[in-house]
Amino acid sequence: MSLRPGTVARVNRLVDRHGRAHRDLRVSLTDRCSLRCTYCMPAEGLPWLPAPDLLTTPELIHLVRLTTTLGIDEVRLTGGEPLLRPDVVSIVAALADAVELSVTTNGLVLDRLAPALRDAGLTRVNISIDTLRRDRFKEMTRRDRLDDVFAGITAATRAGLHPVKLNTVLMRGVNDDEAVDLLRFALDAGVHLRFIEQMPLDAQHGWRRTEMVTADEILSALSDAFTLTPVAGRGSAPAERWYVDGGPETVGVIGSVTRPFCGNCDRLRLTADGQLRTCLFARTETDLRGPLRAGASDRELADLIVTAVLGKQPGHGINDPTFLQPPRSMSAIGG
Ligand code: SF4
């Protein structure tokens, strides 16, 4: 679907009232997932978004392409699990010429899809893996699929996707004893590992600060086995990085809660049901699906997006006593 007449000029109009210019859009392709991670959703899953509310592929591509005329030049496809979307390869093909494209996936079907995604224009991938132990994987995800994740990591590197990044969430008393092993695994596999502090975004609203493993604790555990040297220049990247044993390999830590990086945030989110979220922790959203289906012009849609961004909150507020977890859970927002 080509853009309607009257498309706006290509300047970064996605600047909020705190002076942050936004260029990175996270797009949730679905809220469904093939795993049931304990820190994300209950074992029985969730009441999924109604199918009529989900953006059709032409609608999704139209909105994403519209944001590229406003300043977005990087897009990450997320979920739920984005590779569950049957036409994910054609979505990649439709967007790859306009933006730097990546995907965050649980890796379960990457073994099968990596070559096709690469051929469609995907260049990089983030794969979630929280443990190297099969029994623990079953416990943490309620699925016995660790071998599929390993196969997905191998397929991603074989397909030439680069960088291949691994995302790990450590939970106290669950998998926090695996930090060193996970980094060794990543170094051996030639991929880049980032540890992410657990955030209050689970559907059960069961997050407890005391159960979260902090960035300081992660770095201390790693320093028992490796020499870590800070990498200068973080920019708007969520991860702080350290050279491992003098480098060039590095490890990343995303201290969302204890080391917030909201001051340089350049990220926006589009949900699978067409809502624009200016922050992962936003408690309000801007509906783009309704106006789009009602025939709004690209200029009207662009104005909705620009206005929403202007009003973006300064940060997540997790450390404020007034903090309230957003009603929408992680699986329906995307990473
Ligand atoms: S919490 Fe919100 S403001 Fe902070 S970095 Fe994440 S998306 Fe940006």
∠ CA 230-198-328, rounded to 5°: 130
CB 59 within 8 A of CB 289: yes
- Would you state the pLDDT for residue 10? 59
At position 6, the amino acid (one-letter code) is: G
Rounded average pLDDT per 10-residue block, the chain, 335 residues: 46 95 98 97 95 98 98 97 98 97 98 98 97 98 98 98 98 98 98 97 94 97 98 87 96 96 96 98 97 98 98 96 94 89
Closest ligand 1 atom to residue 280 Cα is: 7
Whole-angstrom distance, CA of residue 110 vs CA of residue 154: 9
Using the mean position of ligand 1's atoms as its centre, give its distance from the Cα of residue 238 in Å: 9
* Ligand 1 near 265 CB (within 6 A): yes
155: which residues sit within 8 A by CB, 6+ positions away?
A: 110, 111, 112, 114, 115
* Ligand 1 near 316 CB (within 6 A): yes
Using the mean position of ligand 1's atoms as its centre, give its distance from the Cα of residue 262 in Å: 5
The residue whose CA has the least distance to atom 1 of ligand 1 is 316
Instruction: Tell which residue, 86, 129, 87, has the closest CA to residue 104.
Output: 129
Using the mean position of ligand 1's atoms as its centre, give its distance from the Cα of residue 281 in Å: 7
Whole-angstrom distance, CA of residue 288 vs CA of residue 274: 6
Tell whether the torsion through CA atoms of 195, 201, 206 and 207 is positive or negative. Answer: positive
DSSP per-residue letters across 41-104: S-TT---PPPGGGSPPHHHHHHHHHHHHTTT--EEEEESS-GGGSTTHHHHHHHHTTTSEEEEE
Q: Which residues pair with 243 in a beta bridge?
A: 229, 250
- Would you state the pLDDT for residue 6? 47
* Ligand 1 near 257 CB (within 6 A): no
* Ligand 1 near 277 CB (within 6 A): no
The residue whose CA has the least distance to atom 7 of ligand 1 is 279
Provide the 3-class DSSP secondary structure of residue 236.
Answer: coil
The residue whose CA has the least distance to atom 6 of ligand 1 is 280
190: which residues sit within 8 A by CB, 6+ positions away?
A: 157
The residue whose CA has the least distance to atom 4 of ligand 1 is 262
* Ligand 1 near 309 CB (within 6 A): no
The residue whose CA has the least distance to atom 5 of ligand 1 is 262
∠ CA 153-122-61, rounded to 5°: 130
Whole-angstrom distance, CA of residue 291 vs CA of residue 103: 27
* Ligand 1 near 262 CB (within 6 A): yes
Q: How far is CA 155 from CA 115, 121, 150, in A?
A: 8, 16, 9
248: preceding bond cis by omega (within 30 degrees): yes
- Would you state the pLDDT for residue 335? 75
* Ligand 1 near 13 CB (within 6 A): no
At position 148, the amino acid (one-letter code) is: D
Phi, psi torsion values for 277, nearest 5 degrees: -115, 125
The residue whose CA has the least distance to atom 2 of ligand 1 is 279
User: So what CATH class is 24-333?
Assistant: alpha beta
Q: Which residues pair with 104 in a beta bridge?
A: 126
Using the mean position of ligand 1's atoms as its centre, give its distance from the Cα of residue 1 in Å: 31
Instruction: Tell which residue, 4, 55, 66, has the closest CA to residue 274.
Output: 55
